[in-house]
């Protein structure tokens, strides 16, 4: 390239998010060699289901599942709205395209039910139980299930 001012731009691969800027300004002088590095991280997902009575029980639809950060605060989308899901007719929910990190998921148990089990296997599950999850880059964490009676 002839000497001058340039901008090096990265095209972000699908399923990744940029950790560094997607463009870097570079000034070249005669005989100069410039190296530009970009850092990206692969996105992951968290999914599971909600069942009645046992993990082989009937699926529960329209159960609110919230995505929380490690401190229990709502994770917000690009519009600054909390990221939530309602379970579908199979009792399933999924949070896709998540950056690596520490998360929690929380279900809101209907007033006609009690939470009786969840995947974290902690002490007695309480109404609106929270499950901690450590999501590694590119991981798809499945079977994050809740059971209500």
Question: Which tens digits make up the pLDDT trace of 47-101?
Answer: 999 999 877 789 999 999 999 999 999 999 999 999 999 999 999 999 999 999 9
> Residues in the chain, how many?
149
* pLDDT of 114 above 70: yes
Q: Strand, coil or helix: what is 148?
A: strand
The reported pTM is 0.81
Categorize the per-residue pLDDT at 35 as very low, low, confident or very high, splitting at 50, 70 and 90: very high
Enclosing H/E stretch for 23: strand 23-28
Please give the mean pLDDT across all residues of the chain: 89
CA neighbor of 19 nearest in space, from 107, 137, 103: 137
d(CA 28, CA 31): 8
What does each C-alpha distance from 146 to 13, 21, 124 come to in angstroms?
A: 34, 39, 13
């Amino acid at each position: 390239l002839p000497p001058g001012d340039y901008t090096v731009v990265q095209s972000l691969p699908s399923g990744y998010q940029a950790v560094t800027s997607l463009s870097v300004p570079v000034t070249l002088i005669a005989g100069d060699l410039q190296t530009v590095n970009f850092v990206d991280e692969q996105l992951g997902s968290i999914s599971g289901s909600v069942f009645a009575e046992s993990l082989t029980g009937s699926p529960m639809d329209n159960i609110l599942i919230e995505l929380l950060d490690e401190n229990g605060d709502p994770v917000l989308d690009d519009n600054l709205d909390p990221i939530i899901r309602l379970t579908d007719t199979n009792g399933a929910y999924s949070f896709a395209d998540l950056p690596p990190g520490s998360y929690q998921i929380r279900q809101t148990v209907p007033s006609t039910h009690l939470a009786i089990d969840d995947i974290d296997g902690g002490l007695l599950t309480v109404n609106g139980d929270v499950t901690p999850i450590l999501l590694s880059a590119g991981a798809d964490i499945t079977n994050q299930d809740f059971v209500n009676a």
